[in-house]
Structure 1
Amino acid sequence: MRHWIAKLAICTILLYNFFLNNSWASANQLTETDVQQLNPIPVVENLAVANNFGETKKQELRRYRETVKGVIKQAGLFTLYSQEESGKVYLEIKPKQLNKSYLATVTLESGLGESGIYSGLPLADFLFYFRRVNNNLHFVIQNVKFRIKSGEAEERSLARSFSDSVLYSVAIDSIDPRSKNLIINLEELLIQDFPGLTTLLKYSLQADYRLESSKSYFGNVNSFPQNVEIDANYGFSSPEGANLITLPDSRALSLKVHYSFSQLQENNGYIPRIADDRVGYFITAFQDFSDNNLQEPFVRYINRWHLEPSDPTAPLSPPKKPIVFWIENAVPPIYRNAIQEGVLMWNQAFVKAGFQNAIEVRQMPDDADWHPADVRYNTIRWFNSLDAGFARGPMRVNPLTGEILDADIIVDANMVRSIQQEYHALIEASSMCQAEGRRQGAGGIEFSTQHPALSENLRARGTRVEQSSVTQHFQDTDTCYGAESTEQVAMGALALSLLQNTKPNSQTMKEYVHQYLRSVIAHEVGHTLGLRHNFHGSTMLAPQELNNTEITHTKGLAGSVMDYLPVNIAPQGVQQGEYFPSVIGPYDEWAIEYGYKKNPDVAGEGVTPEAEKSFLEEIALASPQPELSYATDEDTHDINPLANLWDMSSDVLVYSQWQMDNARVMWQRLDEGYLPKGESYSSLRVLFNRVLRYYFRNASLLSQYIGGQSFRRLHAGNDNSWAFVPVSLTQQRQALAKLQEYVFAEDAFSFSPQLLNQLAPSRWQHWGSPIHHSRLDYPIHDRILSFQSAILRSLLDGDRLNRLRDVELKSQPGQALSLPELFETLQTGIWTEVFTPEEPKPISSIRRSLQREHLNILLEMVLNTNDQLEEGRTLAWYELRQLQTAINTKLQQFGTALDMYTVAHLEFAGDRITKALNAQLLSQ
């Protein structure tokens, strides 16, 4: 009897199980309250136990039915369940999806418009997988830095030698008893500051903000066959707030983040392509511990799109799947043509690689039902800010192969907005008050949004972010162009107005804006194709060729649009040519050929990257050609005068002189009543500062020649040239002479009292327009001296002196600029009034300031023994002795004929030298 009762109990339980399974499958919904794992049905031998088990299932089923009302299911890569009333979102993972790699991309969709928090910024890209551990689901970032060929003995040790990163552990909410699919509450994964925004805000705003769960929620969520798209809105608060202008109350702010979880394409026929240091591509690098890879532990693949010709036998063929860029519907219609032209400029390069119409441009409809950050779309996006002024072209890459999967370009409206305004009303956002904190010299100023919370793989390395598990790539400290680019283009607009009398609303100005935006987009598209900067690209043409449109329309204005090119402003008396490139350069075509040309001898399954080595070497052998010269971010550190930002032509000595001459003409025009009647004089101060910065930026290019050496990425046997070639002694002497004439000479700066007395500051004080607590009148001496000092100190910097000393050994005798010649040339040029035996002449106030600074530098070199080159110390000591003698002689001969300023200046300088030399002797 008991045997039959037990069988009846088992049948009853099986019926409950059948009913439960069919209810789950038809409703496609979850129980919010059921957070326990639903285990398989046990064998029940006791009727009382069976009855209790059945009652438990009844209660669970009842709770489930109460919570499934209004729940929406979206099937796709991962199934999503959304509860409209509670706002909860659940993610379903199939058993076969566990321990499988997926790509995550995280984008900041809404920003603050200032201080580095901008709409559209990529936050993170990484490879991840889900791993089940008991009743928890781990979200694991995969370590792709180290690999070994499958089957080798060391493969067993690799997994335990290096760790993955378990970012989160989430409780399994429930398990489908039939399919065994795991259900997790997505809020526990993504609304726990998954992207590290708290640290980002602390890093960027210098304030402590905390995440408010009650103010955070999910927006749109969508699941597609190969990707999941999720919007999350985060609320933050800070009791003290931050120094922010754009917020109505800085104690509270909201940020929107877009997540894309996508399937990683595998076995799609893509062949990774080996990198070559002579061709500038971003790379995917990993250490290979295989036995046959002992000489070079790193394997480096270039990052590129998977382009396949539709007809592999044809020399020119359309791709099976072109690269498509969508212009976001938020881009103003007036700029869309320029953007389209900038993108399509690259099809010229792909023709050389065998592809016809490799890139397409489409317009995002106003009623589009997809999101610009959707990983399936490459978009060109537009955003607004108070202080950004940059463009950026990040890409998302398969970190296992280097295949580019997605790219989104973002452009700040400020990059073109200031040009469209009246010249005399340009915003003072780039005023001298802010510029003084920037790095002086030829280099550009770029903005970084990286923060420690995004780990090593999101840390800036000086150019783009070094990839590890995250394969996101940003430009020089994370941003392309930046504030310096906005300054350059505004300067160009001012030059059009002052030098060519161009009106703000003229056709010339519209063409200027069009050329600028087209060039910016072409540069950023180049990044999304995998290309790095090439700061040698600007050196292709001679100065006399820059405004010859017959050359620039065909060959290009520069060897590469991947350089940071200034506005091409024609010198006085020369017909203006192109302001910015209209075609890509020879280097760009060659680089695309290396990255994308199909190897006709390699096809079929099982092809390895090593099989293409000889094919790629043949392409790279062309690198010694001058128009293919390549120098990227890490090559622009004072050593190579032709690897600079914002320079132009193969002879910067001539180009810089032209631009400084242009600046002097612009100052004269400003002095001639440039402002219209009724305009505030504060606008004149903005423009004067802009020209002054432009003048010294070009002067700083000259200083790069002193101790400079060209550097080329040559390989042995390919060319008889040296990797390093010192700048000729003639050019270095020319550079010193021009610096003396345009920076240090007595008559280098001459401004009328009328102009200086019209340089009034802005007196508007409100949000976005603070009154800086500095001198009300224009501090002309301080401004000039700050620039003179920057150049002078760079010439006598310890690193430069060390290079000059080394170059003497690397050159033939008498063919290098010696340290004594540098010290002597600077001293006699700066103290001309002391060393010349001519009649007594008063020393002007600007010259006295410069001489005091030169004296300060020499005294610091003599008295400071820390990290000071001994050769420099001894030469500084010698120059001080010579200067002291010359001062004493001048005072003895003409002391009574000199004005009091000059006498006091010279006597004080002599006294300082005496005391310093005595102190130096005593210290020994």
Structure 2
Amino acid sequence: MTLTCKKHFLLLFLSLLLIGNAAAQSLPGISSKTAGMKKFNGYFPFYWDEQSGKIWLEIDKLDQDFLYVNSLPGGLGSNDIGLDRGQLGGQRIVSFKKVGPKVLLVQPNLRYRAITNNQNEARAVEESFAQSVLWGFKVEAADGKRLLVDATDFLLQDAHDVIGSIRRAGQGTYRLDASRSALYLPRTKNFPKNTEFEATLTFTSDNGGSLVRSVAPNPQAVTLRQHHSFIELPDNNYNPREADPRAGYFGISYFDYATPVNENIEKRYIARHRLQKKNPAANVSEAVKPIVYYVDNGAPEPIRSALLDGARWWNEAFEAAGYKNAFRVEVLPDTADPMDVRYNMIQWVHRSTRGWSYGASVIDPRTGEIIKGHVSLGSLRVRQDYLIAEGLLAPYEDGKPENKAMMDMALARIRQLSAHELGHTLGIMHNYDANNNASVMDYPHPQVQLDRAGNINISKAYGTGIGAWDKLAVAYGYQEFPKGTNEKKALDELLAQGRVQGLTFISDTDARSPGGAHPTAHLWDNGTNATDELNRVLDVRRKALQNFSEKNIKPGAPMSTLEDVLVPIYNFHRYQTEAAAKLIGGMRYTYALRGDKQVVTEVLDKKEQQKALDAMLRTLSPEVLTLPEHIISLIPPRAPGLGNNRELFIKRTGLTFDPLAAAQASAEFSLSFLLHPERASRLVEFGARHNTLALQDVTSQLIEKTWKSRRQDGLAGQVQLQTEQAVLTHLMALAQEENASYQARAMATSALADIKQHATSQAKRTRDAGYKAHLEFALARMEKPEEVKPTKPLSLPPGAPIGSGESMGCE
């Protein structure tokens, strides 16, 4: 560079510097910029400008990490779309960083870290993975290091991704309309350790879907509220607790690249509230700061009291872990905001259809510390249990008062559900290896009994109180050990003591898989043995159907509403059927660690599997599947104004009730588990390794109990024929299933050949025109199965809550 060029470059640099300084000096002071505005003092001071409708944020903590959480205080009301009142959204650690005239809101990448004092090593990891800049602000005023920015556009953004949720549900393309959006001052507040903002947002579309139309007064303009929380991070006095796969806790995980090569790079810690004893040396001590939950004051009685009662069950676990008065549940004060991070909430959420309840938490991503627990309970759940009670008891007799047992059962379920979802917000996962009330973290089916006289009794439908596993889980997560204790060893001993009591943990993945193998990992089941319980439940179901009459609905109710009550009773055995299926090709196993002396794997013996197969085949019998005439004749087409909905049986007969479709859906349900490709492949493998049930045993007995069984007359005969066609459909599907093993497909093909031989023989001998048509139709379907479109399988009406929603956990 020549001397002249250098002089020109220096002059240019000095000019830019002077311009920059002039620009900085030209910024007004914060007090002058905010003159006449209402100031909200707190964690991040802010100002409300009434004239412009803007919020000005004072940033006095540059380069300091804090927690940013968005949530949805005003929901859509459609469970299928999933935008519920009180729903927690994204939570992330962020910081404000000044760059020239801008302030960037930066989210570091905490998934990848280097926990080390070596700054260069930490910098190498930080620079290897992307960060995220969530927003950019223009500095509008300044007083030293205190900066003022216009936060309005940031607060009026669709931070909760409402647009994406509606689009993913196939319910239209919406856009945010700024002209119909504004800040919501009643829920915009400031406190010493958290700053809370709320906005009313309107989303517009010309193609809103049916689900949106069902809940919004105008689907072209859907208005919701979104909340933003800036939260001071907890201090460094919290001690993270290492995760153990046997303990059943949610948590955090990250990769620590400063880990020695001979150690695991991924670190896992459980999620839990901070709880410390005032006297750590005492066996029992009060807490420095108790855990307090608040029940939604919008929940009506007697539901509110049930929510309080169930949630308070957890105090027993904390007392067992050495705490006194360390866990409390109260009613939310009228002056409190349920989205305020200072309040652990049990919120009563309304939707247009019943759906999942769930427990979520605001968690410090650095350590796993739970800052706020937030339970969302669907209000229609209590009505579903009441409906089941109506179906079981047929209670509406003329001149008699309403049966109190129905409300008692519904409230008992709400107590249990309150405790269950709150357990998730304590950090505890579902445990599906906890039957007979060993844990409120299992999914319970109503335990309905037949008394000595053979009458239905629902007085003990749901358990009371937490179980032994729940106490163990709280001890693992929250017990404080004396100074000098080897915590890892002490926690391992706790779990070992639990195993001696028969307390083990099995997760969602094992229980929810339709091809699952664990003999006790089931949703909505009871009993210590799934097969015995299925047979017992079928007996209860038979009694309920025998008693079913117009007394199952209130006097004056449309007779067509009998179908609403019938659905959960006809399908009363659905979950126990799924449970029993897992014993076929089943295997006991644990999340064993090397050296803990647990049984790692153990294939179920042939006798136990055969017993389950017998029970499963019972669910396919005409006796179980055929509805009695006295029920069918009572159900007319839907009364005007009621309409059909997904809670009812699918029909192929137009407006009239269709008992054959109900029977087919139930048969398809059983077959979907019995001939699941994973189960079929496992039966082949286990049959080769052990003297146990093989796939050939299952298919041959299935054919014997359906295609080769004694012919039935009347409606039972028609049920029998369509069940046989369903068996054929599922065997053809298995034979062509690419995800099944070759031998599983081969055995399915062999079973089809057996059916073909039988059908050919029977078609030559029968004089029954209907039976002959059935056989010839089956033979035609088997000629070129890949070219024949099978009859569309029917699905059952929803049994579990409709929709999905896995935050921390749901039911």
TM-score, normalised relative to structure 2: 0.86
Aligned residues: 753
Q: Deviations over 1:321-362 (max 9, x none)?
A: 100112232121422222221122111111221111211122
Residue matched to 1:254: 223
> Does 2:55 match 1:106?
no
3-state SS in 2 of match to 1:621: helix
> Does 2:384 match 1:515?
no
Of the three residues 584, 598, 621, the one matched with 2:496 is: 621
3-state SS in 2 of match to 1:254: strand
> Does 2:532 match 1:654?
yes
Residue matched to 1:171: 138
Residue matched to 2:743: 871
Residue matched to 1:225: 192
Residue matched to 1:425: none
CA distance in 2, matches of 1:614, 1:159: 34
Residue matched to 1:351: 319
Of the three residues 629, 634, 648, the one matched with 1:758 is: 634
* Structure 1 segment 682-761 matched on structure 2, within 5 A: 682-719=560-597, 721-741=598-618, 743-761=619-637
Preserved CA contact (<8 Å) 2:386 2:409: no
Preserved CA contact (<8 Å) 1:326 1:362: yes
Residue matched to 2:483: 601
Q: Deviations over 1:728-760 (max 9, x none)?
A: 21121112212222x222433343434213222
Change (3 A) 1:307 1:674: closer
Deviation at 1:258, TM superposition (A): 1.8
Q: Deviations over 1:174-211 (max 9, x none)?
A: 222xx331111011322232333322332245211111
Residue matched to 1:786: 665
> Does 2:773 match 1:904?
yes
Preserved CA contact (<8 Å) 2:73 2:227: yes
Preserved CA contact (<8 Å) 1:685 1:760: no
Change (3 A) 1:303 1:99: same
3-state SS in 2 of match to 1:653: helix
User: Which AA in structure 2 matches 1:171?
Assistant: K
Residue matched to 2:123: 156
* Structure 1 segment 180-329 matched on structure 2, within 5 A: 180-204=145-169, 206-220=171-185, 221-243=188-210, 244-267=213-236, 269-292=237-260, 294-329=262-297
User: Which AA in structure 2 matches 1:739?
Assistant: M
* Structure 1 segment 358-757 matched on structure 2, within 5 A: 358-366=326-334, 368=335, 370-416=336-382, 418=383, 486=384, 490-497=387-394, 505-538=402-435, 541=436, 558-573=437-452, 577-602=459-484, 612-625=487-500, 627-636=502-511, 637=513, 638-671=516-549, 674-675=552-553, 678-719=556-597, 721-741=598-618, 743-757=619-633
CA distance in 1, matches of 2:425, 2:214: 33
3-state SS in 1 of match to 2:602: strand
Farther off after superposition, 683-692 or 881-890:
881-890
User: Which AA in structure 1 matches 2:416?
Assistant: S
Change (3 A) 1:577 1:133: same
CA distance in 2, matches of 1:37, 1:768: 71
Deviation at 1:135, TM superposition (A): 0.9
Preserved CA contact (<8 Å) 1:566 1:646: yes
Preserved CA contact (<8 Å) 1:670 1:684: no
CA distance in 1, matches of 2:206, 2:192: 44
Residue matched to 1:31: none
- Could you tell me which runs of 5 or more consecutive residues in structure 2 were left unpaired when the two chains were aligned: 1-19, 789-811
3-state SS in 2 of match to 1:320: coil
3-state SS in 2 of match to 1:631: coil
Deviation at 1:860, TM superposition (A): 4.5
Farther off after superposition, 746-755 or 652-661:
746-755
3-state SS in 2 of match to 1:803: helix
Q: Deviations over 1:241-300 (max 9, x none)?
A: 332212221100111112211110122x21111111110011111111124364311111
User: Which AA in structure 2 matches 1:166?
Assistant: V
CA distance in 2, matches of 1:914, 1:163: 57
User: Which AA in structure 2 matches 1:82?
Assistant: W
3-state SS in 1 of match to 2:617: helix
Q: Deviations over 1:744-795 (max 9, x none)?
A: 2243334343421322232334899899996211122122112212322432
User: Which AA in structure 2 matches 1:248?
Assistant: P
Change (3 A) 1:288 1:138: same
CA distance in 1, matches of 2:784, 2:332: 73
Deviation at 1:407, TM superposition (A): 1.2
User: Which AA in structure 2 matches 1:732?
Assistant: Q
User: Which AA in structure 1 matches 2:465?
Assistant: V
- Could you tell me which runs of 5 or more consecutive residues in structure 1 were left unpaired when the two chains were aligned: 1-35, 42-55, 419-485, 542-557, 604-610, 920-924
Higher relative contact order (CA 8 A, sep 6+): 2
Of the three residues 662, 670, 674, the one matched with 1:795 is: 674
Q: Deviations over 1:3-42 (max 9, x none)?
A: xxxxxxxxxxxxxxxxxxxxxxxxxxxxxxxxx987676x
Superposed structure 1 runs of 4+ greater than 6 Å apart? 499-504, 766-774, 839-843, 914-919
Superposition RMSD in Å: 3.2
Change (3 A) 1:245 1:826: same
CA distance in 2, matches of 1:570, 1:866: 44
Preserved CA contact (<8 Å) 1:559 1:627: no
Deviation at 1:861, TM superposition (A): 4.7
Preserved CA contact (<8 Å) 1:671 1:752: no
CA distance in 2, matches of 1:779, 1:841: 15
Change (3 A) 1:596 1:857: closer
